[in-house]
A = this chain, B = another copy of it.
Amino acid sequence: MTSSFKVAVAGLGIVGGGTVRLLQQQAGLIEKRVGRRVELVAVSALVAPPDLDLTGLRWYPDAVTMAAECEADLVIELIGGAHGIALKVCQTALGAGKHVVTANKAMLAYHGAELAALAESKGVFLGFEASVAGGIPVIKALREGLAANRILEVHGILNGTCNYILTRMRKEGLDFNAVLADAQALGYAEADPSFDIDGIDAAHKVAILASVAFGCPVRFAPANVEGIRHVSALDMKYAEILGYRIKLLGIARRSGDVLEQRVHPCLVPVDAPIAGVEGVFNAVTIVGDFVDKVMLVGRGAGSAPTASAVVADVMDIAAGRASAAFGVPVAALDPLEPAPLSVRTGAYYLRLMVRDQLGVLAAVAKALSEAGVSIAKVFQDERSPGEKVPLVLTTHDAEEASMQRALALIAEQDSLLEPPRMIRIEQF
């Protein structure tokens, strides 16, 4: 029998606790599948969670010390945070010749290529399946399962909090703030929800996906990120009438050497498979030149599903079948030129709150026409002269730059009583 493969866990929060429990509970199954024992030898956290059995494990109050000094072959980093102690733990562990597995998307979005290069130089592996879409094995699908394809696009529902909020808004006809407050009370949204609802978390994940999909260095692109705060119950209603659902999507698309990478709410056709992914579930669709579309759906967060992804990486490394972090050696990554959002071409949904008076539609149509955007459908109901009414329209395919010009022209209209609301339409 080969000697055991030794593992240390830094951070005993939700995911760290789940990982410790998984390693303990499934020890026999893991040994059978890996062909050697995977042994948890050390943990580090500020306080020991009372519900974890840490008997026989070496305890390190300082995770960096553990990364440097413990006897583990692999350190699992589950502390979180982009630049702080988590990064130090990973750098130290890799520098000491230990493999690293992490669920830390923020850190990877900023330091992914640098950490992968360090791992490579030390002949060890960096695993991060758990950093995107929780329990869904999407990194493995991109890096191995669909490796024979040139990947054209990856898009997905990458934030369960947002999908939960949007799903409840739609089903219950509630407005954003009401559902957010309830989600916070239920523990589905953080006290400070900005990271989720402003799209940052999804943007970190889409940066990681793009890197693995296209073989380019990870590049977080905060400029092309828009969250769901402005999505209203009215938008939900009109989207439904028009045959769409609203989802916050992360999208990465390669055209030649140009990379479109963005996060924003989208109208997707109600019969598109991704439209049916509801509640806290995540989904990732991969488009490859041979395989066409593959969609993976599952739980994108939570203790046990995320632990499943963490330990899958550990098992791959312990079994000696791990891949290069981003599918190819770091030196072989091709930098792609980041495209600004203004190059997007597609259809748009527009909701204007206008004073119901003569000539409003004509003025809006003129603004769109001047900007080179042509109208596909117009929808106006609840007419009551003199009052605020929603004027909803969709456009044919147009360039984002033209649409932004149209929005600026529309914003000048006297009859406009609120800023115009625009949501991009994606046809999958």
Contact = CB atoms under 8 A, between A and B. Distances in A.
A96 to B, nearest CB: 24
A225 interface: no
20 contacts: A29-B148, A30-B147, A32-B328, A33-B328, A129-B145, A135-B146, A135-B291, A137-B141, A145-B312, A146-B312, A147-B311, A147-B312, A147-B315, A271-B276, A273-B297, A288-B308, A290-B304, A293-B299, A294-B297, A294-B298
B294 A150 contact: no
Nearest to A30: B148
Contacts of A294: 135-137, 296-298
Contact of A137 (B135, B146, B290, B299): B146
A328 B26 CA distance: 15
A360 to B, nearest CB: 39
A305 interface: yes
Interface string A249-265: 00000000000000000
Contacts of A296: 294-297
Nearest to A150: B29
Interface residues of A, number: 58
A277 interface: yes
A10 B90 CA distance: 47
Interface string A209-231: 00000010000000000000000
Given A298-B292, A304-B292, A147 B33 contact: yes
A148 B307 contact: yes
A199 interface: no
Interface in A17-42: 18, 22, 26, 29-30, 32-33, 35
- Across chains A and B, which 5 residue pairs bring their CB atoms closest together, nearest first? A137-B145, A148-B311, A135-B291, A294-B298, A321-B321
Nearest to A134: B291
A120 interface: no
A332 interface: yes
Nearest to A28: B150
B299 A291 contact: yes
A148 B308 contact: yes
A16 to B, nearest CB: 14
A319 interface: yes
